[in-house]
Structure 1
Amino acid sequence: MSPSMRPSTRPPTLIAVGHGSRDPRARATLALLLDRVRELRPGLDVRLAHIELNAPLLDDTLAGLTREGGRDAVLVPLLFGRGYHVKHDLPAAAAAAPALRTRIAAPLGPHPLLVEALADRLAEAGWTPADSASRSAAVVLAAAGSRDAESTADIRRTAALLGERLGGVPVVAAYASAATPTVPEALRALAARGRHRIAVASCFTAPGLFASRTAAHAPWIAAAPLGAHPALARLVLHRYDRSRTAPHTAHHRELASA
């Protein structure tokens, strides 16, 4: 077998795909997250791409990898549920780069590592064990929102897992757009149940319009976006590794969110 015909032993390129944001802090934040991923897996080719609004766009990243002679890539969505971008935009981009063997990993949520990062960001904002024991405390888990029922189910599952981690505190999933309840609606519903010490947890990877808008509604504390949290970096690699070990089909999608 000639060298050009031998299967490549180089691991697939990890392409982390963010949504994109007009906030200049967003791209820098994702770059820091990927620096953590590279520290955890030295030698792995890790690249950033965006669905819209920021360079590099996913199509351009895939085209560049093709020009460099790359053969394999795993797209890891920096998103938290199985919404339109994961089900449609990523497969369409993969199909437009037929020279690459492309796998699409599951989104970041739900998963215990995501919950670890969410809980840590809440603690950094001021949440304490005493709040977990308080009958007046609660959390709103703020996410972008989607019209896709599976995506909102993923966020609700993440909210339930976060509630368990916090010792049974009520955690209500709420959305910045496209789904209900909104963050103000969730806050009012919790207040009606006697929960007046309400924190807002940020189910966003980076600063941006939705993260800022939802935090502004917080009546008490608001956690920062997850950013370069170490658990999120480990989760990116977990999704990458899981996708690699799944049976391969053309533009393979690993959308199970366990």
Structure 2
Amino acid sequence: MTHRTRQPARPADGGAPAPVLVAVAHGSRDPEALRTVLALLDRVRDLRPGLDVRLGHIELNRPLLPETLDGLRGSDAVLVPLLLGRGHHVKRDLPARAAAAPGVHTRIAAPLGPHPLLVEALYGRLVEAGWDPADRGGRGAGVVLAAAGSRDPDAARDTRRTARMLAGRLGVPVVPAYASAATPTVPAALRALAAGGRHRAFVASYFTAPGRFASACADAAPGRSAAPLGAHPAMARLVLHRFDRALSASADVPPVTPGPCAPAPADAVSLLASA
């Protein structure tokens, strides 16, 4: 497996290298997940030639995030979570691991969702799966937005907001559902749509990459399930948008240079709320 890397871009005046974009993926035992994330990051590099883009995982795949940050000592890095809402990983794991990285100036971008570009990616994947764009407002149509699930109420609010945005884009009801930790399940959401006369229901995969939960959700509606968001062009644009917004939001805040035992930086946590 190969993917492209670039050296940090150095300003024309010979100053310090530009900030590094560190994409933070969850990690999965599904080998297709890593291939998908690498393809997404290649799209990001194509959109921003010269930007140094690295990858770090929270678990299950290498490089793990601490390994990636260890290779960036003396650098300025923006961590962009390839996660779709606020939850434990975004609120706790990323700030803690950034704070523990010795010699790295870190900023943390907001998670990818909710955002209109995510809705564009969801819409594109649904069309690929057979959704008829002419079916806007179709009386028998509906969509289940299948997400991983979280006990964090902010994560649930983010998923519901995306569902409302997608419903506005499609003109049909969109019901959020979850693979774990929350209800309803995807089968229950499909039954609820059918009970309301929405028998032509699709499952929109609210996952960045393939994995166990994404496969379980797709199995609930075989033949009418969209692929995970993956390397959709809108996803690459969104990664760069989050990177740019994190830099802009922190322009007047000094980057954090934590020691190995430093607590999670307050300014990094505050950046998570930036849209």
Q: TM-score, normalised by structure 1?
A: 0.93
Aligned-residue offset at 1:179: 1.1
Q: Which moved more, 1:247-256 or 1:35-44?
A: 247-256
1:45 aligns with 2:52: yes
1:170 aligns with 2:173: yes
Following the alignment from structure 1 to structure 2, what is the Cα–Cα distance between the partners of residues 223 and 257?
Answer: 29
- Shift in alpha-carbon separation, 1:231–1:243, aligned structure 2, 3 A: same
Aligned-residue offset at 1:134: 1.4
Following the alignment from structure 1 to structure 2, what is the Cα–Cα distance between the partners of residues 12 and 97?
Answer: 16
1:138 aligns with 2:120: no
Following the alignment from structure 1 to structure 2, what is the Cα–Cα distance between the partners of residues 136 and 206?
Answer: 29
Deviations 1:73-101, CA, capped at 9 Å, x for gaps: 00000000010000001011101114111
Corresponding residue for 1:17?
Answer: 24
- Shift in alpha-carbon separation, 1:175–1:7, aligned structure 2, 3 A: farther
Aligned-residue offset at 1:257: 5.5
- Shift in alpha-carbon separation, 1:128–1:244, aligned structure 2, 3 A: same
Residue type of the alignment partner of 1:49: G
Partner of 2:146, secondary structure, is strand
Q: Which moved more, 1:53-62 or 1:8-17?
A: 8-17
Corresponding residue for 1:206?
Answer: 209
CA contact (8 A) 2:208 2:228 kept: yes
Alignment of 1:45-64 (within 5 A): 45-64=52-71
Corresponding residue for 2:262?
Answer: none
Corresponding residue for 1:83?
Answer: 87
Alignment of 1:137-156 (within 5 A): 137-156=141-160
Partner of 2:136, secondary structure, is helix
Following the alignment from structure 2 to structure 1, what is the Cα–Cα distance between the partners of residues 224 and 156?
Answer: 24
Aligned-residue offset at 1:165: 0.8
Residue type of the alignment partner of 1:100: V
CA contact (8 A) 1:107 1:257 kept: no
Corresponding residue for 1:236?
Answer: 239
Q: Which moved more, 1:248-257 or 1:179-188?
A: 248-257
The root-mean-square deviation of aligned C-alpha atoms, in Å, is: 1.6
Deviations 1:119-142, CA, capped at 9 Å, x for gaps: 000001000134323111000001
Gaps of 5+ in 2: 1-12, 257-264
CA contact (8 A) 2:119 2:166 kept: yes
CA contact (8 A) 2:146 2:205 kept: yes
Residue type of the alignment partner of 1:105: A
1:72 aligns with 2:76: yes
Identity of aligned residues (%): 69
Alignment of 1:208-223 (within 5 A): 208-218=211-221, 221-223=224-226
Corresponding residue for 2:193?
Answer: 190
- The number of residue pairs the alignment matches comes to 249
